[in-house]
Chain A
């Protein structure tokens, strides 16, 4: 008998050879050291291959998978406020400074010039509108506080009202326009 074919070697090692053929192969193996060594080599290779160390994914792999598959929990009002504290402070600061610049008597923007620009005209219109609005608000708050409002607190009230109005406008814009767009994108 010739040497075992590759297929015969693999079938013998895997134990899938039929009994009649097995007898024939074993007879050959009893005197052929070359084929015996080939069988040994394949058996040992298989054993080593089975015991090879596995490749492990990185340490936080399971955590990452679970983050991807579990539904994200809805943040509570408190969490939302805490998460946005920084943004809120920044917004209040910016609006406060803007309000101070617009309404502080010492920093009144000079709009008198020989040829008023388009922007100064717009600013004047806005200021006029806002003057009326804040006057109404001040009157209202004066009535509520039984007229204790003084001239010195008038500027502060204006800034406060301005800041609050802007916060409401920006909050509404964020809630109904920006968040909707972000949701649509994702």
Chain B
């Protein structure tokens, strides 16, 4: 059975510093995905992630287990990436758009929601591409919600944003994702169920 994050951290703090490699291997892919989505550049994302891991290592003795290691670590990754974006002049902590209520978040294709049919890998590719191309402030929240499977509260903790702002950004991100997908392929893939290979456990809404 693999060691928990807590056990690994205890070993590191007891002097077995090389055990940190286990933590790095465990979290690097998900964290890299978040960094890549935010910074949109592989090289910058990797540099930011390395910086985040070094910072986390130095701060480990001060980690108090008020949250999981993953949440705490993603906060470091998020802040490092936000700083990089800030240097580029892209502010993601706050913007006027966040003031808008959810009423203004609308879906397109009010009258027509197409059934889409295409291969699973194609669906994945398109969804991945659309998420990657969302603005950083939306893609970061969407990535944490879907890929890291974080709750609203955890996202609030990672980003330091108010709950309302997190909700607005997530709703906007999901709406943009949905609209981009439907607008791009809606009329071309009519007739059969979309995501057929993902429908094994689909719940009926009858």
- Is A80 engaged at the interface, CB distance under 8 Å to the other chain? no
* Interface contact A50-B24, CB-CB below 8 Å: no
Report which of B54, B113, B147, B206 forms a contact with A50, defined as CB distance below 8 A: B147
Which residues of chain A come closer than 8 Å to B115, judged between CB atoms? 37
Question: In the complex the two chains form, what is the Cα distance from A53 to B125 in whole Å?
Answer: 9
Per-position 1/0 for A61-85, Cβ under 8 A of B: 1101110111000000000000000
Per-position 1/0 for B40-63, Cβ under 8 A of A: 001001100110011001100000
- Is B72 engaged at the interface, CB distance under 8 Å to the other chain? no
Which of under 10, 10 to 19, 20 to 34, or 35 or more describes the interface residues of B? 35 or more
- Residues on B facing A (Cβ under 8 Å): 17-18, 20-21, 24-25, 28-30, 32-33, 36, 42, 45-46, 49-50, 53-54, 57-58, 102, 105-107, 113, 115, 123-124, 127-128, 131, 142, 146-147, 149, 170-171, 174-175, 177-178, 181-182, 194-195, 198-199, 202-203, 205-206
Report which of B25, B45, B124, B194 forms a contact with A52, defined as CB distance below 8 A: B124
Q: How many A-B residue contacts, CB cutoff 8 Å?
A: 124
* Interface contact A29-B205, CB-CB below 8 Å: yes
Which residues of chain A come closer than 8 Å to B102, judged between CB atoms? 5-7
Per-position 1/0 for A25-61, Cβ under 8 A of B: 0100110001011111111111111111111111001
* Interface contact B107-A6, CB-CB below 8 Å: yes
Question: In the complex the two chains form, what is the Cα distance from A6 to B173 in whole Å?
Answer: 12
Of A38, A41, A46, A48, which is in contact with the most chain B CB atoms at under 10 Å from its CB? A48
Ordered by A's residue number, 23 sampled pairs between the chains whose C-beta atoms are within 8 Å are A10-B170, A10-B171, A44-B194, A44-B195, A47-B195, A48-B123, A48-B195, A49-B147, A52-B127, A52-B128, A52-B131, A53-B124, A54-B147, A55-B33, A55-B45, A57-B28, A57-B46, A57-B49, A61-B24, A62-B24, A62-B28, A66-B18, A66-B21
Closest CB pairs A-B (n = 3): A49-B146, A44-B195, A54-B29
Report which of A30, A44, A46 forms a contact with B146, defined as CB distance below 8 A: A46
Question: In the complex the two chains form, what is the Cα distance from A53 to B194 in whole Å?
Answer: 19
Which residues of chain A come closer than 8 Å to B57, judged between CB atoms? 65, 69
Question: In the complex the two chains form, what is the Cα distance from A30 to B206 in whole Å?
Answer: 5
Which residues of chain A come closer than 8 Å to B174, judged between CB atoms? 10, 42, 45
Question: In the complex the two chains form, what is the Cα distance from A45 to B54 in whole Å?
Answer: 35
Which residues of chain A come closer than 8 Å to B181, judged between CB atoms? 45
